[in-house]
Amino acid sequence: MCMSAALPSPATADIMDHFQGQVQVAPSIGFRDYGGVRRFSGGIATVRCRENNPLVRQRLTKEAGGGRVLVVDGGGSTRCALLGDMLAAGAVQNGWAGVIVHGCIRDSAAIAQLPLGVKAIGTNPTKSGKADPGEADVPVTFAGVVFTPGHWVYADEDGIVVSAIELALPAADNPAANASER
């Protein structure tokens, strides 16, 4: 079952209450929410690239997301944007639940209108380069967390939580699940 498609994502605070010690956590410090969805989750897919986004474009616009989250390790660079409104719209069209960028985005006002979770460390109107595609589906590390393809990520206003497996909260402790039953 793909949690991001079936039920709203559980809050990261609730996940920590039930799974602390079993998950990795990155605080929101350094990341801002830019998408129209603030709470999102899904299986992890990754791209490692620095100031070049060909693989980000390819994955979001040509590959079925299946409710996954693309984690982009841009090395924390703030010199250019790795995601813009056209790529974000492609992500929505292809079924991605969200994008977490360890770098910058652009077109933030347009991205805020899309039904997509987007976290990034900032904005920059400058386009990225296209010369070096980077690497896909490799473990990436930032914010004190290792993001491994196939593992699960949960994100909201409080932070980012990573688990080796999909997590399910007991129904009584998952307000998001209870709200969907009304």
The residues spanned by each domain of the chain are 25-164
Q: What percent of the chain has pLDDT over 70?
A: 90
Nearest to 87 by CA among 119, 120, 111: 111
What is the maximum alpha-carbon separation in the chain?
A: 50
**Torsion sign across C-alpha atoms 68, 157, 54, 131:** negative
Mean pLDDT of the chain: 90
Cα(92)–Cα(87) distance, rounded to whole angstroms?
Answer: 9
Q: What is the dihedral of CA 57, 104, 11, 179, to 10 degrees?
A: -60
pLDDT at position 172 is 55
Cβ partners under 8 Å of residue 17, min gap 6? 173
Annotated binding-site residues read 84-87, 106-107
Q: Helix, strand, coil: what percent of the chain each, to 5?
A: 25, 30, 45
User: pLDDT: is 105 or 2 the higher one?
Assistant: 105
Does 25-164 carry CATH code 3.50.30.40? Answer: yes
Cβ partners under 8 Å of residue 84, min gap 6? 105, 106, 107, 111, 127
Annotated binding-site residues for Mg(2+) read 107
Cα(108)–Cα(34) distance, rounded to whole angstroms?
Answer: 6
Residue 73 β-bridge partners: 48, 102
Annotated binding-site residues for substrate read 84-87, 106
The pLDDT confidence band at residue 29, using thresholds 50, 70 and 90, is confident
What the block records as the tokens of 126 is 């400058």
Judged against a pLDDT cut of 60, whether residue 176 lies above it is answered with no
Give the model confidence (pLDDT) of 108-156 as tens digits. 999 999 999 999 999 999 999 999 889 999 999 999 999 999 999 999 9
Judged against a pLDDT cut of 70, whether residue 178 lies above it is answered with no
